Amino acid sequence: AQTVTQSQPEMSVQEAETVTLSCTYDTSENNYYLFWYKQPPSRQMILVIRQEAYKQQNATENRFSVNFQKAAKSFSLKISDSQLGDTAMYFCALGGGADGLTFGKGTHLIIQP
């Protein structure tokens, strides 16, 4: 069985600061994908970034980047120059392809003005 663990239920930072959300996972698969999704109060799930496990290079999307440590099964999300609109629940997810996703419990990120 696959598991995803997010150990930070809530984080709060000041606007423009950098924040890192942690995620660890466990899987017996060799080929898999990792994702970070954002869920604002509207509850619409929004893809933030994805990482293919067979790629060593860390994925980046503008202000968002990941630190993917395959051996340690760690997949953290770094948000640079945080903005008020980044306030949301952030879910780390494992799976992809034909499989459904396994989600972590989420981290509630609050960006303070």
The residues that touch other proteins, with contacts defined as CB under 8 A, are: 33, 35, 37, 42-47, 50, 52, 91, 96-106
Which is closer to other proteins, CB of 19 or CB of 106? 106
Q: How far is the CB of 95 from other proteins (least distance, A)?
A: 8
Q: Which residue, 17 or 105, is less far from other proteins as judged by CB? A: 105
Q: What's the CA gap between 38 and 90, in Å, rounded?
A: 5
Nearer CB in complex with other proteins: 66/106: 106
Residue with tokens 């709060």: 12
Rg (C-alpha) for the chain, rounded Å, is 13
Rounded distance, CA 107 to CA 8, Å? 6
